[in-house]
Amino acid sequence: MNPYLKPTFLLAFILIFQNWGENLLGNERISFVKQIAPILLTRCQGCHGSKVAESDYRVDTFQQVLELGDRTPAIKANSLDKSEFYLRLISKDVDHRMPADADPLSKSEIELFRHWIEQGAGFDGKDPSSTLVELLAGLRHPTPPEFYPAAMSLSALAFNADQTRLVIGGYHELLVWDFAGRMDNRIQDVGERIYSVEFHPTRPTLLVASGTPGVRGEVRLIESQTGNLVAILSHSSEVILAAQFSLDGGRVAVGTSSGQIQIYDSKTHLKIMTLAGQSGQITSVAWDQTGSRLVAACQDHSCKVFDTQTGKVISTFSGHAKKVNDALFVNQSKDVLSCGEDGTAMVWNPDDGRKTRDLFRGQESVIGCLAVGNEYLIATPTRVRRFEANGNRQVGELVISNVSITSLAQGAQWLAIGGEKGQVRLVSAADWKTTVGFTAVPTKVVEIENNSLPEDRSSPNPVPFGPKK
């Protein structure tokens, strides 16, 4: 789900904390570890790694990056015209250019390589034989403060497997809270802002999309119990808002700022394919029940459904007038439910992109939607509305006092609501009442509001939470 973030609040928070992300080039020396290795890992190692090594060239380590398979130089310090690696990056011949069968590197990424080579192609890590993942695992993001000086808007929430903890995106960290409002753990060394977090269906692994606006973005797999880095799947020069496991956990879909969707194998961490066709930041991605289709919502006001076997676009939905914030398959994957900045939520056919019905139209942005049992939940900053899944009738709504809603998370029996000022409200599906409320931000004092009730206009027989459809 793409969170509803007020730019002024985010800017204020960044100004308090920001201590990295200066101009990548500037007058400083280019860092192999911080700037070159992430690009090699995400754009080159899929074809030049330990499992696949096209032309016997590998980029697993700094040492290997420097030499081609025939032992001739791939990169020659201070000499661009004798660095075959660089010449392949800038080649106009698509059959000669690297990466092969993929989009070229961005101008800013190519400039990084150019400056690095001109500066002597130096290595600033501890061991040039270390793998890129090992180098990046040792490259830590800034350590967050023990206590936050201000509450932070909550943009990502996720329940753990046994539904006893809530993982919440903080500043350069994931915060683990129990339902009584006690913070259990802090998983650090992640991007500045967390935009998406999800648990693997069967493994103790977290999928985290994060980044620093205008500077970088990344998607990491992290061991949920230890906080150790498993892999960096994707790296970008802009934040990444969306990443999701397929229902069987075998694949990961990542929505990029360039409008592409990258598909990865969740075990080998290799990129399987890239889906293209949209022209703006991808705000959400969602798989169907079988894993054969993927729907992506985009800032360009559209949604697209892709065939994940062929990579082809199945349909395009253009019914929203502004940015689409969320889209997911519903009704046993027979329909798609999407919502956007234009204040609408619509149901449409994924086979042909034709609208089936308007579910909701309002004045506020619709920040996200969920399919829960026999109901659809539609969230705006002021309330969560409940609709019958098989019609347009609204059966209830939750208006939680003094909370501007920014994010939602669905559990087996609970709905978690995140707020602009760090508030969390846990709502039981049994009676649609908040069981506990607290501020999920590291402070010296945590305010807990037990049994705080929202203004609830629910149907007399609420539907228990079930799996997404």
Query: For the residues of 273-303, what is the DSSP string, one character each?
Result: EEE----S-EEEEEE-TTSSEEEEEETTS-E
What would the 3-class secondary structure string for 327-366 be? EEEECCCCEEEEEECCCEEEEECCCCCCEEEEEEECCCCC
325 or 46, which is more confident: 325
Statement to judge: residues 164 and 273 lie in one domain: yes
Percent of the chain whose pLDDT exceeds 90: 63
Q: Residue 180: its pLDDT value, please?
A: 87
Mean pLDDT of 277-286: 92
Q: Residue 21: its pLDDT value, please?
A: 37
Statement to judge: residues 183 and 124 lie in one domain: no
Q: Which residue, among 336, 215, 212, 209, has the nearest Cα to 261 in the 3D structure?
A: 209
Mean pLDDT of the chain: 86
Q: Residue 330: its pLDDT value, please?
A: 97
Looking at 137, 170, 194, the residue that finishes a domain is 137
Q: Residue 19: its pLDDT value, please?
A: 37
Rounded alpha-carbon distances, angstroms, from residue 316 to 89, 160, 266 = 33, 34, 27
Q: How many residues does the chain have?
A: 469
216 or 146, which is more confident: 146
Looking at 77, 106, 137, the residue that finishes a domain is 137
417-433 pLDDT, tens digit per residue, is: 999 999 999 998 878 87
Statement to judge: residues 162 and 116 lie in one domain: no
103-125 pLDDT, tens digit per residue, is: 899 898 999 999 999 999 999 99
**Does the structure show a pLDDT above 60 at 13?**
no
Is residue 404 in some structural domain? yes
166-215 pLDDT, tens digit per residue, is: 999 999 999 999 988 899 999 999 999 999 999 999 999 999 999 877 65
Statement to judge: residues 126 and 172 lie in one domain: no
220-254 pLDDT, tens digit per residue, is: 999 999 999 999 898 776 789 999 999 999 999 99
Is residue 189 in some structural domain? yes
Q: Residue 11: its pLDDT value, please?
A: 41
Statement to judge: residues 44 and 123 lie in one domain: yes
Rounded distance, CA 14 to CA 12, Å? 5
Is residue 92 in some structural domain? yes
354: confidence class by pLDDT, cuts 50, 70, 90: very high
Statement to judge: residues 112 and 187 lie in one domain: no
138: confidence class by pLDDT, cuts 50, 70, 90: low
306: confidence class by pLDDT, cuts 50, 70, 90: very high
Rounded distance, CA 255 to CA 240, Å? 7
Is residue 166 in some structural domain? yes
Query: Which domain range does residue 173 map to?
Result: 157-457
Q: Residue 413: its pLDDT value, please?
A: 87
Q: Residue 137: its pLDDT value, please?
A: 56
**Cis-peptide, bond into residue 99, ω within 30° of zero:** yes
Q: Residue 178: its pLDDT value, please?
A: 93
Is residue 229 in some structural domain? yes
Is residue 82 in some structural domain? yes
Rounded alpha-carbon distances, angstroms, from residue 463 to 159, 409, 428, 431, 451 = 19, 17, 11, 9, 20
Q: Residue 408: its pLDDT value, please?
A: 95
Mean pLDDT of 361-390: 95
Statement to judge: residues 338 and 202 lie in one domain: yes
Q: Residue 133: its pLDDT value, please?
A: 67
Looking at 84, 109, 137, the residue that finishes a domain is 137
Q: Residue 309: its pLDDT value, please?
A: 95
Statement to judge: residues 119 and 175 lie in one domain: no
**Does the structure show a pLDDT above 70 at 439?**
yes
Statement to judge: residues 124 and 247 lie in one domain: no
Is residue 24 in some structural domain? no
**Which of 136-145, 183-192, 401-410 is predicted least confidently?**
136-145
Give the Cβ contact number of residue 201 at 10 Å: 14
Per the structure, how many domains does the chain have? 2
Q: What is the pTM of this model?
A: 0.72
Amino acid symbol at 344: T
**Which of 83-87, 211-215, 345-349, 384-388 is predicted least confidently?**
211-215
Is residue 232 within 8 A of residue 136, CB to CB? The reply is yes
Is residue 145 in some structural domain? no
Tell me which range, 33-37, 55-59, 380-384, is most confidently predicted by mean pLDDT. 380-384
The CATH number that applies at residue 378 is: 2.130.10.10
Statement to judge: residues 226 and 352 lie in one domain: yes
Mean pLDDT of 336-352: 98
Q: Residue 198: its pLDDT value, please?
A: 97
Statement to judge: residues 358 and 397 lie in one domain: yes
Statement to judge: residues 282 and 375 lie in one domain: yes
**3-state class (DSSP) for residue 87:** helix
Q: Residue 441: its pLDDT value, please?
A: 87
